[in-house]
Structure formats: C-alpha cells, structure tokens
Amino acid sequence: MDDGPAGAPLRLEAWAKVNLTLHVTGRRADGYHELDSLVVFAGVGDTLEIAPGEDLSLSLDGPFAGALGAPESNLVLRAAAALRSRHGPTLGSRLRLTKRLPVASGIGGGSSDAAAALRGLNEFWRLGVSLADLSALGVALGADVPVCLAARPSFMGGIGDAIEPAPALPPVWLVLVNPGVPLATPAVFQARGGPFSAPFRWRDPIGNALALAERLKAGRNDLEAPATALAPAIGDVLAALRATPQCLLARMSGSGATCFGLYGDREEARAAAAQVAELDRRWWVSAAPVVDG
C-alpha cells in the first residue's frame, strides 16, 4: 500500500451488464446455481464520483435514485467498506452515485456500481490491490461483481467467479428496454423448471453483427421463460424489439426484466429505440454501443 495521501477526485462509469446468453448448467450443494454466460457491457450506465473525505459516505441522485434503499445498504458503500476493512481501516472518501439504470432489472446496475467502487477506491487510495483480490472481495457482494470488474466481453462461469475473456466480437449496438417491472432474481430461479443446460462457448473471432446474431441464436437465456411467466410485460418488450427493422436478435438479459435488441450500427439502433419508446412511455429505453473496458 502507498502511504501517501489519497489521489485526485475520480469519476467512473458503471456500464450496464448485458447477458447475450445465459445457460443454467447446474446447482451446487449450497443451493447456488452454476451459470454459463456471454456477458458484454453497453455504453450506458451509472456514474460514481469519488472525492476526499474523513470517513466513508455515499450520496445518491439520478432518475432511479428513488428506487434505491438507504445509502447505508447500497452495494457501493458495502464494497467500499469491505475494501477498507481489508486494506486500509483508517481511509475515507465521499462517494456520489448518479443512478441512471433501472433497479432490479437484470443488467447488473448494482454489481457494476460495486465494481466501480472497488476499482476506483483501489486507485484513489493507492492500494495496489490486484484484480484477482478485488474479484475475491467482489464475489462476496454479488455474483456479477467479478465480471463487472473485468468490464469487457467475457464468458462467465461457476457462480460468477470464473471469468474468461471472450473472443473478438464485432462492433454492435444494443437497444435496452425495461418495462418498469422489478424482478427478484431468487423468484425467477425458483420458477425455472426442466433440465440443466450445457455451456455455450466458442473461441473463434466473429467478423460482423449478422454472424454474431446467428451464433447467439444457437444459445438462449434459460431464465427468459420463467421471468416472462412472472412478468408478462417482458413478452411485450420482446415483441416490440422484434418488430423493429434491422433487429438481428431480441432476448432478455440476466433474470430480467430488461431485454435487448441487437443491431448492426448506431442509426439502426437509435431508430429502433425511438420506435419502441413510442409504444409505451413508461418503458425505459436506451440505445448504446457494446463497449470494451
């Protein structure tokens, strides 16, 4: 650890995590499900600001701040406290989270926020903690935190702790749509039936958006059907995305209720987002590119 003063104020983007595929491959003796997923990140998300402070504090703002609980229970503050407890018990900072992603929506907003806190405070406090050690802290906060720490297209396995870089993917755009229906992940897993799935991976790079969509069609999201049974609005969102011109694939992300449409370029994605947004003004709709890092 560097014993010098904390660094200059930082501003970090906590990108939306999108599961392009999600296969449930088994269940461990402790009750946790094992997954296999291709995860990417869309260039829309929350913003975390870190500034000097005597103790740890968190303030919340943004369009979805009201859907969060008290700051003391937020994953950002829990991540900061875990890092401080392990590596610098006298350190402090003022944290500010601007919440732009819908809550409990299957795009890893809380996990991405926690990952941003771990990455940012590691730099801000000049701790020099390795990514592996940050991931070990992160998985105790949530299964998606390690992949959000990587913040690049990755295959995710196990309970979220086994991360492998994905082969090269082409530039693509996503339209994310959430119908405003929060879904509890345990309820979706409980509603899931049927056999477990095999992992779905590949190692060769994919050259264009159409080829990526065709490859993804050989996989699925095993939670889409049970989530739709619990929240039928997911079916409405998927139908709306599939009705847009140039939509190459429409699928639910994570445990829902956010769904994504896959498009080849910005113009197609923005036109689709505008079309979908006209159908129901209560839906959250955003067009964004897939980002790396």
Whether residue 257 is preceded by a cis peptide bond, meaning omega within 30 degrees of 0, is: yes
Exactly one of 36, 46, 113, 144 is catalytic; which is it? 144
* Residue among 17, 36, 99, 113 flagged as catalytic: 17
Alpha-carbon Rg of the chain, whole angstroms? 19
Asked about 144 being catalytic, the answer comes back as yes
**Residue 217 falls in the annotated catalytic set:** no
Provide the annotated active-site residues: 17, 144
